[in-house]
Amino acid sequence: MPDGSSQVKRGRKFDQVLKGARDVFMADGFEGASVDDIAKAAQVSKATLYSYFPDKKLLFMEVARHECNRQAEMAMDGIAPDTPIRDALTDMATQLLDFITSPFGQRMFRICVGESDRFPQLGREFYESGPKLVHDRLVAFISEGVTKGVLAVDDVPLAADQFAELCKADIFPRMVFSMASTFSKAEKDRVVIGAVDMFMARYAVRT
């Protein structure tokens, strides 16, 4: 194994194929994307494409996995350890909401949900490499607050999930049901501040 990252891949146009597939799948979803379109977008012949991926499903899974990892690596910039809770929460809420409303976030969510009959596994993998990370990060953060004595939380995992959920108030339903696809800073700020206020009201230790 000269290269630790690949067992199946070989040949020079592999990345081209993956990129083309990503573009088309992201634009059209699994069913909506045709293999011919992907080959065209990748500027590669269908035969080449099929020499890398024995079928469309495998190609799709590979693209999804790849994209999730790529996204997970980004937007994981930590928060300085001595930031006040309010500010730290505000930062995290903003990051989360930005991701959720990003074109990629929206697209990936739709694909996971819509294709979940065909690919239940896809949803799970996305969860692991997205929402789960946020959850874990929040749990760690809240736990720290508890040990510091600035937060009083009984059920830390629940508190983390509540916070994540609060970040989606108003915005998420409108997004998901095609009422809107972009949101102004003001709209997001309202929700973020609301989420932080609510979280603090419930869990901050009174001083």
With CB under 7 A as the rule, give the number of residues binding DNA: 22
The alpha-helical segments, DSSP class H, found in the chain are 14-32, 35-42, 46-52, 56-73, 85-101, 103-114, 120-128, 131-148, 156-166, 171-176, 185-203
Mask for 138-177, x = binds a copy of itself (CB under 8 A): -----------------x-xx--xx-xxx-xxx-xxx-xx
Q: d(Cα 95, Cα 56) in Å, to the nearest integer?
A: 33
Q: Using the rule CB under 8 A, is 14 a contact of a copy of itself? A: no
What are the tokens at 122?
């896809």
Nearer to a copy of itself (CB atom), residue 48 or residue 98: 98
Member of 113, 140, 148, 205 binding a copy of itself (CB under 8 A): 113
3-state DSSP assignment of residue 119? coil
Give me the least distance between CB of 22 and DNA, in Å please: 16
In 3D space, the residue among 176, 195, 183 whose CA is nearest the CA of residue 92 turns out to be 195
Angle between helices 14-32 and 103-114 (to 10 degrees): 60
Member of 19, 23, 29, 48 binding DNA (CB under 7 A): 48
Q: Using the rule CB under 8 A, is 31 a contact of a copy of itself? A: yes
3-state DSSP assignment of residue 204? strand
Q: Using the rule CB under 7 A, is 206 a contact of DNA? A: no
Amino acid occupying residue 59: L
Binding residues for DNA, rule: CB under 7 A, are: 10-14, 33-36, 43-48, 50-52, 54-57
Binding residues for a copy of itself, rule: CB under 8 A, are: 28-29, 31-32, 109-110, 112-117, 120-121, 123-124, 126-127, 131, 155, 157-158, 161-162, 164-166, 168-170, 172-174, 176-179, 190-191, 194-195, 197-198, 201-202
